[in-house]
Amino acid sequence: MKKLLWIAAGLGVVAAGYSLVAPALCQTQTGAAKPIHIDVAQEKAGAEPTHFIPIVGYWVVAAEGAKNVLMVDGRQWKKGEPSAGLVDKARAIYGSRHEEFIDNVKAWAYFPIAVAQGFDDFRNGEISMRFQMVDGALDRCSGILFNVKPNGDYLTVRFNGTEDNLVLWTFNKGVRKFVKRGEEEMPLKMKEWYSMRISVQGTRLEGYLNGKKLLEYTLPEPVSGKVGVWSKTDSVSYFDDYTVTPAP
């Protein structure tokens, strides 16, 4: 089968619009880092997001009720169109190492990702978000992307509404591998908001859905890298309230 590659097609955003500058972490009186919220609430509906850099797939700011949220539109997935802006986006994320990143990204056409602006190196702490499944015949996936490396490797914890489960996957050199499935299934309704959260302490990973811990796993090594959001094939999903809380 011909590889499909649809990476924010035709939008051609230049690197100058995607400088990844991490803000200084705010400290409380006890020394703990405050949560960092990354969202598109103030961005223009119908435009490509700027607080998340679309790398694979079609990502857009969408109006959901009275609020703007991030949307991945998997209905565009089958077009297989390359993006004129991919090089600029990859360069904005990884500078001189962007070519290695691009080479591996090309193998990910089935898995849309967008990298969050404002937090360059997540190691310990929590990442949380709200998500809503809107549509999808093959898949209805929403996931937290983390441990994104300059060579394109990453980890993701995702929920799939066609399987009703929370799963940890690893992507290494363009190859996806199953790692661990959550302990129980949790059916969720379409077009309703739910919460997802991961906690990372050293090599210990925990995954939560609507506040319930479903996943525990010991990683082979500590994580270190960029973060963002993840999806799969024809999933149409909303994302909101994306929050990174670094460990003190």
Return the CATH number of the domain spanning residue range 29-246. 2.60.120.560
Specify the range with the lowest mean pLDDT, choosing from 5-9, 60-64, 105-109. 5-9
- State the pLDDT at residue 79: 58
Mean pLDDT of all residues in 54-58 = 88
Confidence at residue 16, expressed as pLDDT on a 0 to 100 scale: 35
Query: In this structure, what are the phi and psi dihedrals at residue 221, rounded to the nearest 5 degrees?
Result: -155, 160
Please identify which residue in the block is written with the tokens 């880092």.
33
More confident residue, 146 or 17: 146
pLDDT on residue 27 = 38
Residue with the bigger pLDDT between 15 and 117: it is 117
Instruction: Give the Cα separation of 144 and 239 in Å (integer).
Output: 10
3 state SS of 151 = coil
Q: What is the pLDDT of residue 231?
A: 95
- Give residue 90's pLDDT: 58
- What pLDDT shows up at residue 214? 97
Q: What is the pLDDT of residue 94?
A: 56
118-123: average pLDDT: 90
The pLDDT score that the predictor gives to residue 176 is: 84
Q: What percent of the chain has pLDDT over 70?
A: 74
With a CB cutoff of 8 Å and minimum separation 6, the contacts of 232 are 74, 110, 111, 112, 138, 139, 141, 143, 158, 160
Residues 6+ apart with CB under 8 A from 77: 4, 6, 57, 58, 109, 110, 112, 233, 234
Annotated domain spans of the chain: 29-246
Q: What stretches of 40-90 adopt beta strand conformation (E)?
A: 52-56, 59-64, 67-73
Banded model confidence at residue 22, pLDDT cuts 50, 70, 90: very low
Q: Tell me what the mean pLDDT of segment 145-159 comes to.
A: 94
Average pLDDT, rounded, for the chain:
82
| pLDDT score at 9 | 33
Distance of alpha carbon 96 from alpha carbon 86, whole angstroms? 14
* C-alpha distances in Å from residue 241, one per residue of 1, 40, 136: 37, 9, 22
If you count DSSP H runs as helices and E runs as strands, how many of each does the chain have, helices first? 2, 15
> What is the distance between the alpha carbons of residues 62 and 118, in angstroms, rounded to a whole number?
21
Residue 220 has pLDDT above 60, yes or no: yes
- The model's pTM is 0.80
Q: Given a cut of 60, is residue 149 above it in pLDDT?
A: yes
Residue 137: pLDDT over 90: no
Among 41-45, 134-138, 187-191, 210-214, name the one with the lowest average pLDDT: 134-138
The set of residues, in sequence order, having a beta carbon less than 8 Å from that of 208 and lying 6+ positions away, is 195, 196, 197, 198, 199, 214, 215
Residue with tokens 């169109």: 81
> For position 81, what pLDDT does the model report?
45
Q: Alpha carbon 247 to chain centroid distance?
A: 20
- 124 DSSP 8-state letter: S
Instruction: Please determine, for residue 31, whether its predicted confidence score (pLDDT) is greater than 70.
Output: no
Q: How far is CA 129 from CA 69, 123, 208, in A?
A: 11, 18, 11
Q: What are phi and psi of 147, to 5 degrees?
A: 60, 35
Looking at residue 101, what is its pLDDT? 57
Task: Give me the residues paired with residue 212 across strands.
Answer: 209
